[in-house]
Each structure stands twice: as C-alpha cells, then as structure tokens.
C-alpha cells in the first residue's frame, strides 16, 4: 500500500491512526538519532551497556563460524560491538543488513566497508519479511540474526509472532537470533522517555504531519496539534498520539479529500510494547526457539535475549 493510500485509510478509521513506519523519513530518522541521546530515553544506553559488557559472551554462545544478518540496521552503532566480537573468533565475516531506508543502508555499507576490510557487507534494501525470504543459504556458517533497539516493540503482538516465525524460517536448527526488548517498568520512567523535556519526541511525532504536507500536499497547521505519549498499562504499551487542539478540517490534495477532526480527537501514530520476560519466552517457544540466555543492564530496564532455533 502507498503512503497516500495508508493515510486515506488511517484518517478515515475510528479511532484515527497512522502507521509508525511513516515516522522514519530522512528528517524523522535524524530526529530518532537525537532521541537516542536524550537523558530520558534510557533504551539505547541500556542496550549499549549490555552489548559493551557482554558482546563477546553473546558471540561465544552463538559458537562456530558465523554470518550476521541484521533487521533494521540504521547506523549500526551498537552492531559494531558484536562485529568486533565475531572478528575475534574468525578472520572474515559476512554481514547482511536489511533495512527499508536506502540512505541508512548505503551509509552503513560505506562506513563498514571503510572501517572493516575483513567484513563483507551485502545489504538488502527492503522490509524485514521480504528480506528474510531473500537471504541466500548460509553454507557451512552459522547464521546469527540481530533485531536490536526494541524495534520489536512497534509490532502488535500478532505481528511480533509473525516476524519471529519468519526469522525462524530463515534459520536452521542451531542458528541463533538476538532480540532486544524493552521491559515493563514504572509509568513515570516510561512516560518521561516518550515526553522528553527538550521536545524532540514531540517534533519526531509532529514530523509525520509535515511529511503529509510535504509529500501529499496536506494542509496541517502544526500550531493546532500537540504531542501526547501515555502508558497504556492494560495493553503493556506506550502510545504516541497527535492531539487536535481545535475542531478543524484539513484538506490533503494528493488524496483529493478533506478530513475533519474534533477538538481533542487524536491520531494514534505509534505503539511501543513493553515486554514481560514470560512474553518473550512464549513468543520464542511458539516460533520454534529456545532461550539460550537473557542479559540485562544494571537497572533491569532492557533485555537482550539470545534464542536458538530448535
Ligand atoms: C525505534 C521503535 C524502538 O518505540 O522506543 C522512540 C521509537 N518512538 N521515541 C521506541 C520511538 C518515540 C522507538 N523504537
């Protein structure tokens, strides 16, 4: 489905919704990089601290000669810790990033080619599910698939299960999958991570409206919208919404339609699921994995789960 088609459907639905993948155009991806440095956004630092302390242990648990596949590589900053650890065990390494953002894939490939003469980068510019089916066989090497950053949290539970099933299909028994997941915790910590005091997350959210203006000839007035992120404890997820500050009508030229918003009506733009350890175990088991080990940071905020295909 095209961006225009998804926007038309999402803004015609009740409650109104826009898919979170559209937050990541070039500007949105740059804003997300800034989010990762915010004092309130603990996720990136928590996962980086786990990988700093344990990447060699993780790689040793994978065992054998390996190739590494990564879903949604972005700039691959944390990945380098695992690549370094793998290169301590073997002289050369094949690394296959899969990302829908061609600029991210191109930059990461160029940077790694420059930094690591012993890594052979073979990037795939496509979505995860398509990329997983297009991987060439791994020969004698073990395959390690990475899914870092709690990106799995953006999926509805059924989508998370479908993704784990697809990952399992791309693996042979004994191959491994490393998945990072943010853990359930107190509301104050969760809500401040998505309501930073500098307003970067608000800008990241509102950029979706600007993207509709830029790409689809939308007429959103940002002054009439605000950012809201709240923890929905019953569903175990932080929800990001855009809130209409007044009753308003917004034409979108490329769709040839005008959308009406009540005062305080919201557009749901993202869910960020927070996991309980048993939920990860269940997802893993249902997809045909066993948990080798879970590492967490000193505050137990985040878990890095190494799964092995059975
Ligand atoms: C990239 C999906 C892990 O859900 O925490 C950050 C995206 N949204 N702040 C997350 C995000 C608002 C992020 N993930």
C-alpha distance from residue 94 to each of 152, 163, 201 (Å): 24, 23, 35
Mutate to test the pocket of ligand 1, among 31, 268, 270 (most ligand atoms within 8 A of CB): 270
Alpha-carbon span 141 to 127, nearest angstrom: 24
Residue 27 pLDDT exceeds 80: yes
pLDDT digits (tens, 9 = 90+) for 195-214: 999 999 999 999 999 999 99
Phi first, then psi: what are they for 291, rounded to 5°?
-85, 120
Ligand 1 atom with the smallest distance to the CA of 270 is 8
How many CB atoms within 10 Å of residue 39?
A: 11
CA atoms within 13 A on the CB side of 181: 27
Q: Whose CA is nearest to atom 11 of ligand 1?
A: 32
- Among 123-127, 144-148, 219-223, the least confident range: 123-127
Q: What's the gap in Å between 299 CA and the centre of ligand 1?
A: 19
Q: What's the gap in Å between 272 CA and the centre of ligand 1?
A: 6
Q: What's the gap in Å between 9 CA and the centre of ligand 1?
A: 23
Residue 171 has what pLDDT? Answer: 97
The structure tokens listed for 73 are: 């590589």
- Mean pLDDT taken over the chain: 96
* H and E: helices and strands count for the chain: 10, 14
Q: What's the gap in Å between 45 CA and the centre of ligand 1?
A: 13
pLDDT-above-90 percentage for the chain: 91
Mean pLDDT for the stretch of residues 127-136: 93
Confidence of residue 227 (pLDDT cuts 50, 70, 90): very high
pLDDT digits (tens, 9 = 90+) for 72-97: 877 788 999 999 999 999 999 999 99
Q: What's the gap in Å between 263 CA and the centre of ligand 1?
A: 27
Mutate to test the pocket of ligand 1, among 24, 150, 196, 237 (most ligand atoms within 8 A of CB): 150
> Which protein residues touch ligand 1 with a CB less than 6 Å away?
35, 43, 149-151, 153-154, 194, 201, 204, 270, 272
Helix or strand holding residue 12 (H, E): helix 3-12
Q: Reduced to 3 states, what is the DSSP secondary structure of residue 142?
A: strand
Alpha-carbon span 170 to 106, nearest angstrom: 24
Mean pLDDT for the stretch of residues 14-33: 94
Residue 101 has what pLDDT? Answer: 81
Q: Whose CA is nearest to atom 13 of ligand 1?
A: 151
Q: What's the gap in Å between 93 CA and the centre of ligand 1?
A: 30
Q: What's the gap in Å between 65 CA and the centre of ligand 1?
A: 33
Q: Whose CA is nearest to atom 4 of ligand 1?
A: 272
CA atoms within 13 A on the CB side of 131: 22
Residue 223 pLDDT exceeds 90: yes
Q: Whose CA is nearest to atom 5 of ligand 1?
A: 272
Alpha-carbon span 10 to 134, nearest angstrom: 30
Q: What's the gap in Å between 214 CA and the centre of ligand 1?
A: 23
Alpha-carbon span 225 to 209, nearest angstrom: 9
List beta partners, residue 226: 243
Q: Which residue has the tokens 């003469």?
A: 117
Confidence of residue 293 (pLDDT cuts 50, 70, 90): very high
What's the alpha-carbon Rg for the chain, to the nearest Å? 20
pLDDT digits (tens, 9 = 90+) for 57-66: 999 999 999 9
Q: Whose CA is nearest to atom 1 of ligand 1?
A: 151
How many CB atoms within 10 Å of residue 294?
A: 16
Residue 301 pLDDT exceeds 90: yes
Closest CA to 250 of 209, 214, 211, 215: 209
- Among 13-22, 37-46, 69-78, 261-270, the least confident range: 69-78
Alpha-carbon span 310 to 294, nearest angstrom: 17
Closest CA to 125 of 145, 143, 140, 104: 104
Mutate to test the pocket of ligand 1, among 154, 189, 205 (most ligand atoms within 8 A of CB): 154
**Alpha carbon of residue 125 to chain centroid:** 15
Alpha-carbon span 123 to 102, nearest angstrom: 10
Confidence of residue 48 (pLDDT cuts 50, 70, 90): very high
Helix or strand holding residue 115 (H, E): helix 102-115
**CB of 127 within 8 A of CB of 158?**
no
Ligand 1 atom with the smallest distance to the CA of 272 is 4
Q: CA triplet 286, 20, 287: central angle to 5 degrees?
A: 10
**CB of 212 within 8 A of CB of 182?**
no
């Amino acid at each position: 489905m095209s961006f225009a088609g998804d926007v038309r459907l999402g803004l015609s639905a009740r409650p109104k919704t826009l898919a979170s993948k559209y937050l990541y155009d070039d500007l949105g991806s740059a804003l997300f990089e800034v989010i990762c440095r915010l004092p309130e956004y603990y996720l990136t630092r928590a996962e980086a601290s786990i990988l700093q302390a344990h990447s060699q242990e993780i790689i040793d648990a994978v065992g054998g000669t390996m190739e590494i596949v990564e879903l949604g590589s972005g700039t691959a900053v944390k990945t380098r810790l695992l690549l370094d650890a793998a290169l301590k065990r073997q002289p050369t390494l094949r690394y296959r990033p899969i990302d829908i953002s061609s600029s991210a894939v191109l930059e990461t490939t160029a940077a790694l080619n420059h930094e690591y003469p012993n890594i052979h980068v073979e990037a795939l510019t496509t979505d995860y599910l398509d990329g997983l089916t297009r991987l060439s066989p791994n020969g004698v090497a073990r395959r390690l698939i990475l899914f870092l950053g709690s990106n799995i949290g953006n999926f509805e539970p059924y989508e998370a299960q479908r993704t784990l099933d697809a990952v399992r299909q791309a693996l042979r028994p004994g191959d491994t999958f490393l998945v990072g997941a943010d853990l359930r915790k107190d509301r104050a910590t969760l809500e401040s991570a998505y309501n930073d005091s500098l307003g970067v997350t608000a800008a990241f959210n509102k950029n979706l409206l600007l993207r509709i203006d830029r790409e689809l000839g939308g007429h959103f007035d940002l002054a009439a919208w605000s950012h809201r992120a709240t923890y929905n404890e019953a569903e175990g997820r932080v929800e990001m919404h855009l809130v209409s500050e007044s009753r308003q009508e917004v034409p979108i030229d490329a769709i040839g339609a005008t959308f009406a918003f009540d005062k305080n009506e919201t557009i749901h733009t993202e869910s960020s699921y927070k996991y309980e350890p048993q939920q990860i175990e269940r997802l893993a088991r249902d997809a045909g994995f066993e948990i080798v080990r879970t590492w967490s940071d000193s505050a137990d905020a985040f878990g890095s789960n190494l799964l092995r295909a059975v």
